[in-house]
Amino acid sequence: MEVAYILIIDEKIISPILVQMAFNHHIPIYYTDDERSLALTQSTKLLTNSESCLSLLERKAPDHAHSKASQLVKNKARFREISASINQDYFFRLLSLDELLHLEKDTVPFPVVIKPNKGYSSVGVYIVKNEHEWEQAVQGLYSDLLLSEGMYSDTVIDSEQIIIEEWIDGTEFALDCYFDDAGEPVILNALKRRFLDDQDTSDRIYFTSAQVIDEIHADAVKYLRSLNKRLNFTNYPFHIEIRKSTKGIVPIEMNPLRFAGAGTTDVSYYAYDINAAEAYFLNEQPDWKPLIERNDPAIYGFFCAEVPTQISKSLIEDIHHEQLKQEFSEVLEYRVIDSASDRAFAVIFFKTTSLAELDYLVNLDLESYIELKKVKETIK
């Protein structure tokens, strides 16, 4: 049976808002290990909640337009080649992991970013400002890839190919969007990223506000129109990270067939009453003008709490969620994450009017909220 809408879900981290939307609109839900046939037409509207879902699509419908589009987007080097026709002076290079490990650093035009050609979140992403930081960054990327081998499939992270690309100084934004049936971009949310310092690549805090929307919306729509003249995508949802600089809009990466990961796209529901998945399926377009003109000072954000890399999840006895919750001035939802294959242990949606609170939160030492198992001593 052919259907107009399909939602593919990875059960490891599920948004209750997403599932309720699917039930409300009778949208069929498939899972990453689903054995049912997947009957798609070229006009089927398809959404996932994780890039791990792409393996089902590639297995069941490899020739569908969304499968081919997602393979293109997920391959950062191919995506770079396409976007380079817009950002023509932007440096990038694709090489193997072995070539990276043996690369002469005097051939690298610092500052650069190194990262896997296929990647997820900030795994293996390093900013390298100069040659003195090169060896440590390369070894860090190599270690990250070894640690991720048992956690993510090759569809999500590919350790065989690495990208070196120019690092652009500017303001970073993350957008949840879709191209409609005419290929026009529709922006469902715009987020700014809060960093600990200029070496930070973590996903701990993103936030949105009327001011953020006003700052990026017009430029982003113009850029996405130009990009889709080259991609020619229709009815296609995506999450894209961009940097706004003196060189204009430069894409960092585009994530196919999903919005912000681990259910964090729900921040738009709390901030603007926009359910991104519902808006995509129903072809809804937010009217941003009244929001911008209202000039609401409220800041809405999400905090992705992750187990520090120096702690093995198998050694954790307990996580003090209530203690962490008290660090926020206003919690909209505290969503506990219980996934053996992800380091995230909570996503906290919050509201504030203070940028200083964001700086306080991004500096929190999450190790202090984690209780480790007591080591049993052996009496000899």
Written as six digits, the tokens of 75 are 């391959």
Q: What is the pLDDT of residues 13-63, one digit of tens each?
A: 899 999 999 999 999 999 999 999 888 888 899 999 998 899 999 999 999
Give CA–CA dist 99/249, Å, rounded.
30
Among residues 121, 139, 166, the one where a domain terminates is 166
Which of 181, 163, 188, 180 is closest to 251 using CA atoms?
Answer: 163
Does an H or E element contain 87, and which?
none
Residues 75-106 have pLDDT tens digits of: 888 888 898 889 877 888 889 988 998 899 89
Beta-carbon contacts of residue 287 (< 8 Å; ≥ 6 apart): none
Sign of the Cα torsion 215, 217, 223, 227 reads positive
For residues 160 and 110, membership in a common domain is answered with yes
Helix (H/G/I), strand (E/B), else coil: 222: helix
Give whole-number Cα distances, 302 to 105, 124, 137, in Å.
37, 22, 28
- Domain, as residue range, for 134: 91-166
Q: Are 144 and 124 in contact (CB under 8 A)?
A: yes
Q: Is residue 367 part of a domain?
A: no
Per the domain annotation, does 135 fall within a domain? yes
Q: Is the pLDDT of residue 1 over 50?
A: no
**CATH number reported for the structural domain that contains residue 151 in this entry:** 3.30.1490.20
* Domain match, 64 and 110 both: no
Tell whether 115 and 162 lie within a shared domain: yes
Q: What's the mean pLDDT when you consider all of the chain?
A: 90
> What percent of the chain has a predicted confidence (pLDDT) above 90?
66
Q: Tell me the pTM.
A: 0.87
Q: How would you write 116-144 as a 3-class SS string?
A: EEECCCCCCCEEECCHHHHHHHHHHHHHH
Examine the fold and report which residue of 41, 73, 105 is the final residue of a domain before the chain moves on: 73
